Structure 1
Amino acid sequence: MTTTSATALPHEASPSALVGLFTQVRALTLALADPLSDADATVQSMDDASPAKWHLAHTSWFFETFVLRDYVPDYRAFDPDFHFLFNSYYEAEGARHARPHRGLLTRPSLDHIRAYREHVDAAMMDAMPSLGQEALALVELGLNHEQQHQELLLTDILHLFAQNPLYPAIWPAEPQPVVDAQPLEWITGPVGQVEIGHAGDGFAFDCEGPRHAVLLTPYALASRPVTNGEWAAFIADGGYTQSRHWLADGWAWVQANGIGAPLYWTKDADGHWQQFGLDGLRSVDPAAPVCHISLYEADAYAAWAGARLPTEAEWEAIAMMHNPLGGNQLDTAGAVRPRADASEALFGNVWQWTGSAYRPYPGFKPAEGAVGEYNGKFMSGQFVLRGSSCATPRGSVRPSYRTFFYPHQRWQFTGLRLARDL
């Protein structure tokens, strides 16, 4: 199979810039996994999550499959069996190991996967200076793909360790200083005909375009996300025990799964809320943004608060006036948790649910070849989140960036920012 185009909006990638980014991204992935034992890296805590070992291998599989195999004639695969083991969902690449069974791969070992990464890295560093623009576009796509997996790696480790009754900390850290929540204010957004979608020369995934016009009526976004303290008030007021604020599907989900608080919240012996994170079990910080909530929960809270979820067009229209590099985002390996002292930034801390279904923009066409499966085929039954989180690698998002999950999913760093009509 020869790939003809990357699933990104067209622009020219610089070989020298990509070499530097490649080194940086690949090193951060290894650093994030460094505290893990082979057992830690092998186990799969649920079907939606993947073992750390699989993330390390799949991100290498991407470069080996779409760049080295197709654009470097003398490249020799590290292990032919890896093509089957570490394909994620690319139907055009043939059969693959079933996703729910990734945690059964006790072999290859974590060290062997690290050796695989070294093999791929060496071949990529040799090849990049002489690659043409078509191949370089795939390198850039692969790096942005790996940055997505860095966040998935962290969220999947968190979910795995939350199943351990000892609540082990991956990166122990001192508690953040207690601060008061910022007062909630309202940011008025642009109205009338507004253009959204990626524009410019930088990288963007294909689902971020084409740029197009939308019509916005008067609205405002909250100046900060909903806090843990505000969420605790929702719980105390019967938010999870009264159906009137819930979508029918959401209420059925609450009832079927016994949901009564955000994921990773638990009560101590004295009845105080605690929250598990990558730095262990800590008291819930009332001023920090609430995190690990589903679309169903976000929508119910918004109804309870007399507000609503923003549309993704409303969110982006305001985001174009904000710095996507700001806020609490991932810079290095270490404790990752939403922080109250960074809650005013539009980006960072928590991904923000919108009320918009994840569907194609007008004129969207997926790329040819296997990489065309990257985004387009998932545009069904999911909802868009905007912004970034404390686990998002800084510099990897834009105002037009769209991520998406099913309405019941909440193991990611997901929160909400309210909207209202004016």
Structure 2
Amino acid sequence: MATKPASIDARPSPRTGPAQFAAAYRSVRDLTRALAAPLSDADATAQSMADASPAKWHLAHATWFFETFLLRDHVPGYRLYDDRYPYLFNSYYEAEGERHERTARGLLTRPALADILAWRDHVDAAMADAMPRLAETAGDLVTLGLHHEQQHQELLLTDMLHLFSRNPLGPAMFEAPAASVASAPAPLGWVEGATGRVTIGHDAGDGFAFDCEGPRHDVLLTPHALADRLVTNGEWIDFIADGGYADPAHWLADGWAWVNNERIAAPLYWRQGDGGDWEQFTLSGWQPIDPAAPVTHISLYESDAYASWAGARLPTEAEWESVASSSEPLSGNLLDSAGPVAPQPAPGGDLPRLKQMFGDCWEWTGSAYRPYPGFRPCDGAVGEYNGKFMSGQFVLRGGSCATPRGHVRASYRNFFYPHQRWQFTGLRLAKDL
């Protein structure tokens, strides 16, 4: 297993020098390689759907980012390892020119996985040699590249989960985690949130954040409360048993059309065995569902329907961030090493307190992914990182069991389309007071 990933911080400091950047770089790059270690060349090449990418492509794209935006642009005399690779492994950066079609990434049987790993080694050696220069002249860009790779670590895992789920053999990527002690979760409790004017968003002087997390700004909150934990598998089974997927009264119009068109009757990766017990496909293969663990791999449509069925609603991202700001991002069930990876039941306790704010599964909010007041994308190609996607998507908060520790924070804004659910996406309820 890889070592615990480093927490990456781009705040200017006398202690942030080449050695610190080099250590963070090695930590992140080593974890990616460890995550991919169980995969064969065939495993790493296949693409199971348009939303997913092959593991080999993730390994290559993160390397392309460092070679393109750091070595090519900031190290005089650097020559590309292979001048064909930018076309193959650019993702969506229009400023970097034409690229291979996203939906056809799984057709790239060549270069082989070994060739991609050799390219990674080459770029890693060049980055190590150039780090004294890069730490001084492009430290913020190095940090962006590391957080970018951490995003692809999570995508690598969730894309492999989808790929393996399509295999009738039900292959496992990691050994199964130790089973949690069987116990019923505490009854759902409620924690009252702040009311009135609150300030959310990233403070420009407080470490790294993606551009979409700022500017910091005021919002007005009305009286509300958030559930003290995530919705569980057992509670979702009750929703299914009560006909939740068959009652249009709880569904948004687009969601109801999606449920019927796609014949959705349970979260992604769920199935019922011959005895009627529910099972779930995981990175450790097919496993019995733990009723106390948080439900995951659900869409915004499903989350909104469940909230309606439960007499509640989805939280707004401002409500979520206003309470999450007092929680410790490093405290949750997050990714530390190469497996196992699975959501865990909420910790016990008698008094209602906010649990699982970070880790386990991304929490859908009812907030559209749109720019904050005063948002401006960065100059150059990296300005295409987030802002161009602020249409038709919804915000998720908090990270998941596949999010590397040190990557997420209270202001972090993840975003997906409302029908998507191959990520570790879950639900925390909210209600008006």
User: Aligning the two structures, in what range does the TM-score lie when normalised by the shorter sequence?
Assistant: over 0.9
1:137 maps to which of 131, 140, 143: 140
Name the counterpart of 1:5.
none
2:44 maps to which of 27, 31, 41: 41
Report Cα offsets for 1:287-333 as digits up to 9, x if no partner: 00000000000000000000000000000000011111111110000
2:104 aligned with 1:101: yes
Pairing of 1:263-342 with structure 2 (within 5 A) = 263-342=268-347
Report Cα offsets for 1:155-188 as digits up to 9, x if no partner: 0000000001111111122433323213211111
Q: Any stretches of 5+ residues in structure 1 without a counterpart?
A: 1-8
Amino acid at match of 1:12: P
Amino acid at match of 2:96: E
Q: How big is the shift at 1:132? A: 5.6
2:64 aligned with 1:61: yes
Name the counterpart of 1:408.
419
2:207 aligned with 1:202: yes
Q: Give yes or no for contact 1:179–1:340 (8 Å, CA) kept in 2.
A: no
Name the counterpart of 2:396.
385
2:196 aligned with 1:192: yes
Q: Give yes or no for contact 2:346–2:356 (8 Å, CA) kept in 1.
A: no
Pairing of 1:62-77 with structure 2 (within 5 A) = 62-77=65-80
Which consecutive segments of 4 or more residues in structure 1 shift more than 6 A? Answer: none
2: CA distance, partners of 1:12 / 1:405: 32
2:166 aligned with 1:163: yes
Name the counterpart of 2:370.
359
1: CA distance, partners of 2:78 / 2:257: 52
1:237 maps to which of 226, 239, 242: 242
2: CA distance, partners of 1:179 / 1:125: 49
Please identify, of 46-55 and 172-181, the stretch whose mean Cα deviation from structure 2 is larger: 172-181
1: CA distance, partners of 2:421 / 2:26: 31
**Percent identity between the two aligned chains:** 67
2:126 aligned with 1:118: no
Name the counterpart of 1:399.
410
Name the counterpart of 1:177.
181
1:349 maps to which of 357, 360, 364: 360
Q: Give yes or no for contact 1:289–1:338 (8 Å, CA) kept in 2.
A: yes
Q: How big is the shift at 1:136? A: 1.5
2: CA distance, partners of 1:80 / 1:63: 14
Q: How big is the shift at 1:270? A: 1.0
1: CA distance, partners of 2:134 / 2:123: 15
2: CA distance, partners of 1:183 / 1:338: 19
1: CA distance, partners of 2:69 / 2:91: 13
Q: Give yes or no for contact 1:342–1:349 (8 Å, CA) kept in 2.
A: no
1: CA distance, partners of 2:24 / 2:429: 35
SS state at 2:331 partner? coil
SS state at 1:244 partner? helix
Q: Give yes or no for contact 1:354–1:386 (8 Å, CA) kept in 2.
A: yes
SS state at 1:240 partner? helix
1:247 maps to which of 248, 252, 271: 252
Q: Give yes or no for contact 1:338–1:349 (8 Å, CA) kept in 2.
A: yes
SS state at 2:78 partner? coil
2: CA distance, partners of 1:232 / 1:379: 34
Q: Give yes or no for contact 2:359–2:399 (8 Å, CA) kept in 1.
A: yes
Alpha carbons of structure 1 residues 286 and 269: separation in structure 2 relative to 1, 3 Å: same
Q: Give yes or no for contact 1:327–1:342 (8 Å, CA) kept in 2.
A: no
SS state at 2:396 partner? strand
Name the counterpart of 1:32.
35
2: CA distance, partners of 1:92 / 1:195: 34
Amino acid at match of 1:345: Q
Name the counterpart of 1:12.
12
Alpha carbons of structure 1 residues 319 and 282: separation in structure 2 relative to 1, 3 Å: same
SS state at 1:352 partner? strand
2:255 aligned with 1:228: no
Please identify, of 300-309 and 196-205, the stretch whose mean Cα deviation from structure 2 is larger: 196-205
Report Cα offsets for 1:204-240 as digits up to 9, x if no partner: 0110000000000111100000000000000000011
- Note the aligned Cα RMSD (angstroms): 1.3
Q: How big is the shift at 1:17? A: 2.1
Q: Give yes or no for contact 1:330–1:393 (8 Å, CA) kept in 2.
A: yes
Q: Give yes or no for contact 1:193–1:213 (8 Å, CA) kept in 2.
A: yes
Q: Give yes or no for contact 1:273–1:284 (8 Å, CA) kept in 2.
A: yes
Q: How big is the shift at 1:130? A: 1.6
Q: How big is the shift at 1:346? A: 1.2
SS state at 2:87 partner? helix
Report Cα offsets for 1:77-102 as digits up to 9, x if no partner: 11100010000000000000000000
Alpha carbons of structure 1 residues 23 and 12: separation in structure 2 relative to 1, 3 Å: same
Q: Give yes or no for contact 1:387–1:397 (8 Å, CA) kept in 2.
A: yes
2: CA distance, partners of 1:187 / 1:17: 39
Amino acid at match of 2:416: F
2: CA distance, partners of 1:92 / 1:409: 28
SS state at 1:404 partner? strand
2: CA distance, partners of 1:132 / 1:339: 38
Name the counterpart of 2:222.
217
Report Cα offsets for 1:20-76 as digits up to 9, x if no partner: 110000000000000000000000000000000000000000000000000001211
